[in-house]
């Protein structure tokens, strides 16, 4: 039987970014799933604070060069790759001069969230999916980790639902105790639209904020995982009401096996 394929879209992965609950999962979950017999691909944003020389990132010319249009502006997509030798896994990085060159992640030196984080999430989600198509790799499961990945479920289910790479993919979204505070731009919903994404798909976005973005991701996913011991109570309630397959919090000792079983249950 062919190995099941799992695409990991991660907001953070250590050692490229500091250790957090999310970045450790970004690092060790794909390795664990690969060791359990599945094929993996892993993506994260190439935030400007990632040291390219120390981490030996290099550009993949054959995957780079596409332009993604956001708000009537062309943004060139640059793909880089690095290897985590101990895990026998590669990590692909989504890069762009406008969005990812600044020496920071999601906030500036004064801890203010960047005004263009909305466009950065659009670019990241679209960049991952377009690159996966270029790799000619059709994932059985797409696992999105963190709010920076929240638009990927929408694009898979609405914009790419007839694309052979994603038509049969099951989407898993993990919610963490990690949010953003600032309301996003008023025209965010217009900016994120692609062919296939209708106004009715975005009705859940009563406001362009963290809670509603997360609700959108949940509504477009096939299964939901609670990645932190405690999460926003409004989101927790929304998950219950959605009736979607749900996996509660698992600690470091048990989550790899639990997530693997959850993927299998969605594929059965």
The β-bridge partners of 44 are 93
Encode 179-205: b = buried (16+ Cβ within 10 Å), e = exposed: bbeeebbeebbeebbeeebeeebbebb
Residue 174's domain comprises 5-267
- Give percent of the chain with pLDDT exceeding 90: 98
Instruction: Using a cut of 0.75, tell me whether the model's pTM lies above it.
Output: yes
Q: What CATH number corresponds to the domain at position 168? A: 3.40.50.2000
Question: Does position 3 have pLDDT exceeding 90, yes or no?
Answer: yes
pLDDT given for residue 2 in this prediction: 84
pLDDT given for residue 99 in this prediction: 97
Q: What is the pLDDT of residues 80-107, one digit of tens each?
A: 999 999 899 999 999 999 999 999 999 9
Confidence band, pLDDT 50/70/90 cuts, at residue 1: low
Question: Does position 206 have pLDDT exceeding 70, yes or no?
Answer: yes
pLDDT given for residue 6 in this prediction: 99
The 8 Å CB, 24+ separation contacts for 257-260 are 257/36, 259/29, 259/33, 259/143, 259/225, 260/32, 260/33, 260/36, 260/38
What is the rounded average pLDDT of the residues 162-181?
Answer: 97
How many domains in the chain? 1
Q: What is the pLDDT of residues 178-200, one digit of tens each?
A: 999 999 999 999 999 999 999 99
Q: Is 150 helix (H, G, I), strand (E, B) or coil?
A: coil
């Amino acid at each position: 039987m062919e190995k099941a394929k799992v695409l990991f879209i991660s907001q953070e992965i250590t050692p490229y970014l500091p250790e957090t609950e999310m970045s450790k999962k970004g690092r060790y979950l794909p390795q664990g799933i690969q060791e359990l017999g599945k094929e993996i691909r892993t993506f994260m944003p190439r935030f400007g604070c990632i040291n390219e020389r120390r981490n030996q990132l290099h550009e993949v010319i054959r995957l780079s060069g596409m332009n993604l249009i956001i708000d009537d502006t062309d943004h060139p997509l640059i793909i880089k790759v690095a290897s985590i030798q101990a895990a026998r896994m590669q990590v692909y990085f989504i890069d762009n001069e406008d969005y990812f060159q600044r020496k920071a992640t999601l906030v500036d030196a004064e801890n203010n969230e960047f005004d263009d984080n909305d466009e950065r999430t659009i670019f990241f989600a679209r960049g991952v999916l377009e690159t996966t198509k270029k790799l000619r790799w059709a994932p059985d499961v797409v696992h999105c980790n963190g709010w920076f990945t929240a638009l990927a479920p929408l694009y898979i289910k609405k914009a790419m639902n007839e694309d052979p790479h994603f038509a049969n993919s099951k989407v898993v979204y993990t919610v963490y105790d990690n949010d953003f505070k600032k309301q996003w731009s008023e025209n965010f919903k217009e900016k994120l639209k692609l062919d296939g994404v209708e106004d009715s798909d975005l009705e859940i976005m009563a406001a362009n904020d963290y809670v509603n973005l997360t609700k959108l991701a949940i509504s477009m996913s096939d299964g939901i995982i609670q990645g932190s011991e405690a999460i926003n109570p409004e989101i927790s309630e929304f998950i219950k009401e959605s009736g979607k397959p749900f996996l509660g919090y698992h600690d470091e000792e048990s989550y790899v096996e639990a997530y693997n079983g959850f993927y299998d249950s969605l594929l059965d």
